[in-house]
């Protein structure tokens, strides 16, 4: 039986929610990952150092007994952010600030309305050697939803990188050939996370045969040529600039399957297995460990995890649903199989 042993991965983009939802989903990530960069778009958002430290303690309290999982905390960037806040965050061990353009995705109403007014904050983030995490979409009503990422690159990302050239940027959950090209052509201060859904699925999986609400995420799935460009990027010559970030985002089944279904896909239960499929299909299984376990740690200036995990080429059935508070959570590829299993 084919096996693959790799350094324990890190999830560099993860939503854990809070309360009962946190307790429902955290064990899946803690079982697979050594660390995760925790997204701050709670209700209310994590905007202060005190917010982040309190949230971190709730995560630690919810961990299964004996877990060594480490949450890496971030702050939600708002129009009120200051250089002083950046220095306070650095001193408290917070690793990054997260940009949500106002109205771009789940719980982004408090997001930034004009990033260029926050250039002093971005300069301080660079000076403190923190990371700047970018949800890269414009929200203008005149821009097609499938073009929001490409427009953001031209209108915001390139001008910001020109004005703050030493800013260490993670272009989060990239979905387009344009985003991959930007990262590939930029300096080593620019990297990207890539999700399993954007490497496995295209917009046909969302729209053909009826709308599939559990495939709705933001940024939205794109056409097949973009998916292929992402696979080429994470397995190509500059693959060190890309790393694992699931953007696993739990939502109750009732919230996904309604007239205003919310955006997000829950992949944490089988994240490593799904990525193994992707890299095997691309003939690049030998590059999975770097993508999952090394590139992100290196970009954040962290040591590699010391533990190992072993993948076995053996089908694993994904449950139809997972208990989620008083409701249910529908995981990515619910009721189907992964081609690989993690040996626990």
State residue 259's pLDDT score.
84
Residue 80 CB neighbours (<10 A): 10
Distances (CA, A) of 303 to 59, 144, 215: 22, 41, 34
The CA distance from 176 to 225, in Å, is 9
Q: H helices within 47-144, ranges in order?
A: 49-62, 83-91, 119-127
Give the list of residues 6+ apart from residue 118 with CB closer than 8 angstroms, or none: 77, 79, 81, 112
Does 247 qualify as catalytic in the annotation? yes
148: left (phi over 0), alpha (psi -120 to 50) or beta: alpha
State residue 325's pLDDT score.
87
State residue 205's pLDDT score.
96
Helix (H, G, I), strand (E, B) or coil at 244: strand
Q: Is the pLDDT of residue 103 over 80?
A: no
- Please state the residue numbers annotated as binding site: 13, 15-17, 41, 98, 135, 173, 218, 247, 251, 263
State residue 91's pLDDT score.
98
- Please state the residue numbers annotated as binding site for substrate: 15-17, 41, 135, 218, 251, 263
CB 263 within 8 A of CB 221: no
Write 260-265 long-range contacts (CB < 8 A, 24+). Answer: 261/213, 261/216, 262/106, 262/216, 263/105, 263/106, 263/216, 263/217, 263/218, 263/220, 264/15, 264/106, 264/216, 264/217, 264/218, 265/195, 265/197, 265/214, 265/215, 265/217, 265/332
Average pLDDT over residues 158-185: 98
CATH number of the domain that residue 21 is part of: 3.20.20.140
Q: pLDDT band for 62, please (50, 70, 90 cuts).
A: very high
Residues 137-148 as b/e (b if ≥16 CB within 10 A, e otherwise) read: bbbeeebeebeb
The residue assigned the tokens 């961990």 is 63
The tens digit of pLDDT for each residue in 38-60 reads 999 999 999 999 999 999 999 99
Q: Which of 129, 147, 247, 286 is catalytic?
A: 247
Q: Is the pLDDT of residue 28 over 70?
A: yes
Q: Identify the burial level of 240 via C-beta atoms within 10 angstroms of its C-beta, where 0-12 means exposed, 13-18 middle and 19 or more buried.
A: middle
The tens digit of pLDDT for each residue in 195-245 reads 999 999 999 999 999 999 999 999 999 999 999 999 999 999 999 999 999
Q: Is the pLDDT of residue 108 over 70?
A: no
The residue assigned the tokens 């599939």 is 212
Higher pLDDT, 109 or 285: 285
Q: For residue 57, what are its two tokens?
A: 């303690």
| Owning domain of residue 83 | 3-343
Average pLDDT over residues 128-134: 98
Q: Is the pLDDT of residue 104 over 80?
A: no
Q: Is the pLDDT of residue 65 over 80?
A: yes
- Please state the residue numbers annotated as binding site for Zn(2+): 13, 15, 98, 135, 173, 247
Average pLDDT over residues 321-336: 95
Give Cα 177 to chain centroid, integer Å: 18
The CA distance from 25 to 28, in Å, is 6
State residue 260's pLDDT score.
82
The CA distance from 241 to 188, in Å, is 7
Question: Total structural domains in the chain?
Answer: 1
Residue 22 CB neighbours (<10 A): 18
The tens digit of pLDDT for each residue in 291-304 reads 999 999 999 999 99
The CA distance from 327 to 121, in Å, is 41
Name the average pLDDT for the chain.
96
């Amino acid at each position: 039986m084919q096996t693959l042993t790799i350094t324990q991965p890190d999830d560099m983009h993860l939503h854990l929610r809070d309360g009962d939802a946190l307790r429902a989903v955290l064990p899946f990530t803690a079982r697979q990952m050594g660390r995760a960069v925790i997204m701050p778009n709670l209700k209310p958002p994590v905007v202060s150092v005190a917010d982040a430290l309190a949230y971190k303690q709730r995560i630690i309290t919810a961990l299964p007994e004996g877990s060594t999982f480490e949450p890496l905390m971030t702050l939600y960037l708002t129009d009120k952010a200051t250089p002083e806040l950046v220095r306070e965050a650095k001193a408290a061990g917070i690793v990054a600030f997260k940009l949500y353009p106002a109205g771009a995705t789940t719980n982004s109403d408090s997001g930034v309305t004009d990033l260029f007014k926050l250039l002093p904050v971005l300069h301080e983030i660079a000076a403190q050697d923190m990371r700047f995490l970018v949800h890269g979409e414009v929200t203008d009503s005149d821009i097609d939803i499938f073009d929001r990422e490409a427009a953001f690159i031209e209108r915001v990302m390139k001008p910001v990188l020109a004005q703050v050239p030493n800013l260490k940027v993670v272009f989060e959950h990239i979905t387009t050939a344009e985003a991959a090209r930007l990262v590939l052509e930029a300096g080593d201060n620019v990297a990207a996370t890539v999700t399993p859904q954007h490497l496995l699925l295209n917009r046909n999986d969302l729209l053909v045969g009826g709308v599939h609400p559990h495939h709705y995420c933001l940024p939205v799935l794109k056409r097949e040529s973009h998916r292929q460009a992402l696979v080429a990027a994470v397995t190509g010559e500059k693959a060190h600039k890309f790393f694992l970030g699931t953007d696993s985002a739990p939502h109750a089944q009732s919230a996904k399957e309604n007239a205003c279904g919310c955006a997000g896909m829950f992949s944490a239960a089988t994240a490593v297995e799904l990525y193994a499929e992707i890299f095997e299909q691309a003939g690049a299984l030998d590059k999975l460990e770097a993508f999952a376990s090394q590139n992100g740690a290196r970009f954040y200036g962290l040591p590699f995890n010391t533990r190992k995990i072993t993948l076995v080429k053996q089908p694993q059935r994904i449950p139809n649903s997972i208990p989620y508070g008083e409701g249910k959570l529908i995981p990515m590829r619910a009721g189907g199989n992964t081609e690989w299993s993690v040996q626990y």
